[in-house]
Amino acid sequence: MNYAAVFLDRDGTLIEDMHYPKDSNQVILIPNAIEGMKLMGEKGYLLFIISNQSGVGRGIIQDSEFKSVHEKFCELLKQAQIKIDGFAYCFHHPDDNCRCRKPHTDLIPKVFNQKPISFKESFTVGDKLSDLELADNLGAKGCLVLSGKGEATQVELNNANRQFQYAIFPDLLSMAKSLPCIIS
Report the alpha-carbon distance of residue 18 to residue 60 in Å, rounded.
13
184 lies in a domain? no
Q: Is pLDDT at 12 greater than 70 in this prediction?
A: yes
Instruction: Please state, in angstroms and rounded to a whole number, the distance separating the CA atoms of residues 55 and 107.
Output: 17
Residue 77 belongs to some domain of the structure: yes
Does any domain span residue 113? Answer: yes
- How far apart are alpha carbons 84 and 47 in whole angstroms? 5
43 belongs to a structural domain: yes
Q: Distance between CA atoms of 34 and 1, rounded to whole angstroms?
A: 27
pLDDT, tens only, 146-175:
999 999 999 999 888 767 789 999 999 999
- The pTM score is 0.96
pLDDT at 183 over 90: no
The total number of structural domains that make up the chain: 1
Residue 6 has pLDDT above 70, yes or no: yes
Which residues have a catalytic role annotated?
9, 11
Domain boundaries, position 80:
5-178
Q: How many helices (H) and strands (E) would you count in the chain?
A: 6, 8
pLDDT tens, position by position, 58-83: 999 999 999 999 999 999 999 999 99
| Residue 183 in domain | no
Give domain status of residue 78, yes or no: yes
Query: What residues form DSSP beta bridges with 141?
Result: 123
87 domain-assigned: yes
- Domain of 75: which CATH number? 3.40.50.1000
**Structural domain includes residue 142:** yes
Burial of 45 (0-12, 13-18, 19+ CB in 10 A): buried
> What whole-number distance in Å separates Cα of residue 66 and Cα of residue 104?
22
